[in-house]
Structure 1
Amino acid sequence: MLRRFTRKIQMSGTLLSARKRQFYHAHPTKRNMRERALRRIIKTKEIRRLEKLGKLDEVKK
């Protein structure tokens, strides 16, 4: 019974399409890219501000 099921899955192409989609990563949308860029800018400004106040040691690179 299991062999029949496996064979039907392979013949229908379901297994092949599932393997193709397994590691697919969708491209980020423009909105996501903008939001990510804004978060990055805000974070770097905050780090610079804390450095100037002396509350943050060196920035890790």
Structure 2
Amino acid sequence: MQVLVRDNNVDQALRALKKKLQREGVFREMKARQAYEKPSERRVREKAQAVARHRKAARKKMQREGLLPCAKKHAGAAR
């Protein structure tokens, strides 16, 4: 992974690096590897994540079809 530092602006380069690492999921993986996770706990977590993904996909599909109202936008997002 590479980040260019322009005009000796290290702060901006650091922000760009953090954003890239966040997008790649490095922080999430580091947190997961901090402690040992039993195989049974791993199966439970992965099953819960799969259920959440399925529910989210179903909710998005229903919103596209007009069966559910669209998700509300956060007021802080519009800058």
Instruction: With the length of structure 2 as denominator, give the TM-score of the two structures.
Output: 0.39
Q: Tell me which structure has the larger Cα radius of gyration.
A: 1
- The structure where helix makes up a greater share of residues is 1
